[in-house]
Amino acid sequence: MFAGSLYVADLMLLVYGAGVTYSTHSNLNMMYNWGALVGIMVLVQLVSGVLLACSYVANYELSFEVLDYMMRDGSLL
């Protein structure tokens, strides 16, 4: 009868220990969070740049048509 509530209490203790009282260094501050966010944004820009570089065309008229096609149809390749 009390076995279900015991499991819930153990789970809550585990969540509290992992989330609230997680021991970290005192120099871990918001700048690390900003650095992680900047790293993710650089990765997104790198991937989108590689995808755009795959559709590079050296001709002026053809490159405009490729850009127009990508903007209308949403296809990068």
pLDDT reading at 31 higher than 80: no
Tell which wins on pLDDT, 4 or 44. 44
Q: Measured between alpha carbons, how far apart are the two ends of the chain, in Å?
A: 61
pTM for the whole structure: 0.50
pLDDT reading at 64 higher than 80: yes
Question: DSSP secondary-structure letter at 75?
Answer: -
Joined tokens for residue 53: 């570089």
**Residue 38 and residue 44 in contact, taking contact as beta carbons nearer than 8 Å:** no
Q: Where are the domains positioned within the chain?
A: 3-73
Q: What is residue 1's predicted lDDT score, i.e. its pLDDT?
A: 45
Chain-centre distance for alpha carbon 14: 27
User: Is the Cα dihedral 71, 74, 36, 19 positive or negative?
Assistant: positive
